Chains A and B, each alone.
Chain A
Amino acid sequence: MGKYADSPEWADVVPISQQEHMPAPLAQIAYTDEYAEAMSYLRATMASNELSERVLALTEDIIRLNPSHYTVWLYRFRTLSALPTASLTTELTTFLNPLSLRHLKNYQIWHHRQLLVSAIGSYEGEAEFLVDMFAKDAKNYHVWSYRQWLVRHFKLFHSASELAFTEQLIGEDVRNNSAWNHRWHVNFADGDGLSDSGLVAKELEYAMGKIELAAQNESAWNYLRGLLAKGAGVEESKVVQFAVKYAGLDGGEVKSTHALDLLASIYGKDPAKKESAVQALELLADKYDPIRAPYWRYRLAMVNSGVAAS
């Protein structure tokens, strides 16, 4: 007895129960009757490859009981795609959105969304919905990966609204590395951005401005480091001039370990500046970042042997 067994709509389906195994499999779950029954009907409809309205209802039932059930999600999408009456937009707004806000760490929800939005062919309303998601967790990996997919799929590179969005999140929390990563993506992942020395210079200024707010913020330094390593037309001397403000050698004040680190990288390449590189790395190893002393000493050994290690 159960919801499906009692339903005339499902009378034609012979459910497939889970087989008993001997000896007993490990890490078993005492399913509720409701879940066990729904799963037995799912096995039956999947076996006959049924794609129907009632299958949509069945998959919804199972997803509500187990939102990590990747098999059901994919079957649901196949069913949606096969039904001329099914509205993918309704699926997004009335089914998926509320579920996403309840289950933050779920791969399947975001893959389903990607399939739907790809099929719909429009990203209208997506940015608005994602604001709610980021309000719950501004560093959610799945949500950010989805947003990066949106940018690539709909060619939103250099989009003013995407950049403004990263600006807003970085403004709220300058240490939000996910927002920094997205900014890089929007500016540079199309492949052309890094060869645009004007854009690179603008972003360099942006990173420096944020470092001025909080000099020990690794996210901004990593962004700057990335520009220096990959961007066109970055004047190394300008970066050095900036970094020394935060990393005084010869007894000066040190306001940022990342500035010391960057100076050590730049100086380490120049035999004439070797002593300064050594000094910066020794400060890191002995005083400012001793938990990473093994790494800083490795860098020291590389500088002393004349090999660039970072």
Chain B
Amino acid sequence: MQSSTPSSSYPASTTSLPFRSGTSITSNRISGEDEDPTDTTMTVPAVSSIFLDLPLIKDSHLETTSSEAQDETVKECLPFLTLQNFEPENLTEEGLPRLQRAKHIKFLKTSIEMTYPKGFTPMDSSRPWTVYWSLVGLHMLGEDPSQWRDRVIATAQQVQNPDGGFGGGAGQLAHSATSYAIILALVTVGGKEALDAVDRKNMWHWLGRMKQKDGGFTVCAGGEEDIRGAYCSMTLIALLNLPLELPPDSPARVNGNETFLTGLPEWIQRCQTYEGGIAGLPDSEAHGAYAFCALACLSIIGPPAKMIPKYLDVPSLIHCLSSLQHAPETGFAGRTNKLVDGCYSHWVGGCWSLLSAALGLVTTDLWSREGLARYILCCCQGDRGGLRDKPSKHPDAYHTNYCLAGLSAAQYVAEYVVPEGENSSETLDDELAGIVALTAPFQWRIERESEGPWSEEVKVMPVHPVFVVPVNRVKECHDYFETKSGF
């Protein structure tokens, strides 16, 4: 569908609210005091009331734990959203806080290079995540991650399991989440040596042991089965160009003709709830992070325009995800009646390009890109670098990466380029049965910015909409392993 309404255009009802630092807020509006019309150095651009006004409807007569937490969140965010907490020199002409690039780079360099004190021992089973989050964050901030190539390879070697896959640390069981993080880190630094650091054959065997009869994947041997397992496993299979046929020792191999794809879209389908959103596993509650995992996983298996509408109720999914963009915070929450959190900037913000591809939308947006960017830039930047959940929380590498990925999702239009012959009349079932290699996730192009107030001072680099790594590195990886049909 092509809508005639470009949704990212600026609202006409912009209220002009020049103010000086130290001005006060009355009700939910900023009021300027004693403006000198000739003093342009201290004026701040107007922020549209769309991004500031409190919702008109509120059930104030019945406060509960949820509504009190929501009120607290609005209260802590408003001084940032109104720009009251920023010095005018830290604002762009369009009225956005500048991205504190140098501070964030310093934060992530520290987070990847430092030796963590003993208090961080609980991080011992997820170190690969810190490496991945930091590297991709640095890429989005304009740094070249390849400068850490040798040390990323050393990290991968340290945690690679002799039976395949990567664990959280030396001698730990292989886990799909840490394997995902390591592979994405290797792809992000790029180069033959990094890509060759993976034992692909043993990875294939290990993934075969994770694949279950019901179509899903466990995250580790004897571990839980959830949608993270599905998305991470399919990411590994696609990026490493592993055979889709199951290894002989896979528990999912019953008739002998099963593949890694057998029953998987149906398993994902079972995760959609009555709310329209996606749960982490069948029966659980709809959650923004799992919506991304489901959409990305389906977009790995086949073309989003075919896979997503076939297996998910797209209108109700969009309904649910859209409602997670809150006013006046303008960022995303992860669940119904929960609070905004910077990390959902990616988990929910990253869903839209996949959904647009599913619906064939080219020029229509289904969400407020500027709203999301405002939340990230106003509320999530830590004073000393790094990005965070919300102003009352401390920054960390996880939130830094996923806030920046959300900013990237807001600033760029990712397009799925339909390859020649993909629109054949062949039914999807025949197609799925005939898939010999996963080509769909390699059809994405990011060649244009979205419409929005994106000056250089707030811009980040794009990332791949399915794999969340540098786009050119996905191509490099795909080209490299495309030549290796076996091991």
Contact = CB atoms under 8 A, between A and B. Distances in A.
Contact of A28 (B115, B284, B323, B330): B115
Contacts of B123: 27, 29, 68
A219 B222 contact: no
Contact of A301 (B3, B115, B320): B3
15 contacts: A16-B171, A21-B158, A69-B168, A71-B220, A111-B223, A141-B284, A148-B283, A174-B64, A227-B274, A255-B57, A291-B327, A292-B368, A293-B7, A308-B315, A310-B319
Given A141-B287, A176-B337, A293-B50, A70 B65 contact: no
A181 B124 CA distance: 34
Nearest to B170: A18
A175 interface: yes
Contacts of A295: 318, 322, 366-367
A139 B338 contact: yes
B1 interface: yes
Given A68-B126, A218-B336, A175 B115 contact: no
Nearest to A111: B224
Q: Nearest 7 A-B pairs (CB), nearest first?
A: A226-B274, A294-B7, A175-B66, A214-B59, A25-B155, A173-B64, A181-B285
A297 interface: yes
Nearest to B135: A26
Interface string B336-350: 111000000000000
Interface of A: 16, 18-19, 21-32, 35, 39, 42-43, 46, 65-71, 74, 77-78, 107, 111, 114, 138-139, 141, 144-145, 148-149, 151-152, 172-178, 181, 184-185, 188-189, 213-219, 222-223, 225-227, 229-230, 254-257, 261, 287-295, 297-298, 300-302, 305, 307-310
Contact of A145 (B124, B281, B365): B281
Nearest to B157: A21
Nearest to A40: B171
B212 interface: no
Contact of A184 (B56, B130, B274): B274
B280 A145 contact: yes
B393 interface: no
B11 interface: yes
A305 B2 CA distance: 11
Q: Which of B57, B122, B126, B320 has its CB near the most chain A CB atoms (within 10 A)?
A: B57
A130 to B, nearest CB: 15
B384 to A, nearest CB: 19
Contacts of A309: 315, 318
Interface of B: 1, 3-5, 7-8, 11, 50-51, 53, 55-59, 61-62, 64-67, 111-118, 120-127, 130-131, 134, 148, 150-152, 154-155, 157-158, 167-168, 170-173, 175, 220-224, 273-276, 280-281, 283-287, 315-316, 318-320, 322-323, 325-328, 330, 335-338, 364-368, 371
A298 B368 CA distance: 12
B158 A19 contact: yes
Contact of A310 (B221, B281, B318): B318
Nearest to B374: A291
Nearest to A305: B1
B125 A70 contact: yes
Contacts of A69: 124-125, 168, 172
A contact patch SS: helix
B130 A181 contact: no
Nearest to B218: A111
Contacts of B64: 172-176
Contacts of A294: 7-8, 364-368
A301 B222 contact: no
Contacts of B124: 29, 31, 35, 66, 68-69
B57 A30 contact: no
Given A30-B116, A216-B57, A308-B315, A290 B337 contact: no
Given A29-B115, A172-B65, 10 more contacts: A24-B154, A26-B152, A27-B114, A70-B172, A173-B66, A261-B319, A292-B325, A297-B3, A298-B7, A298-B366
B91 to A, nearest CB: 21
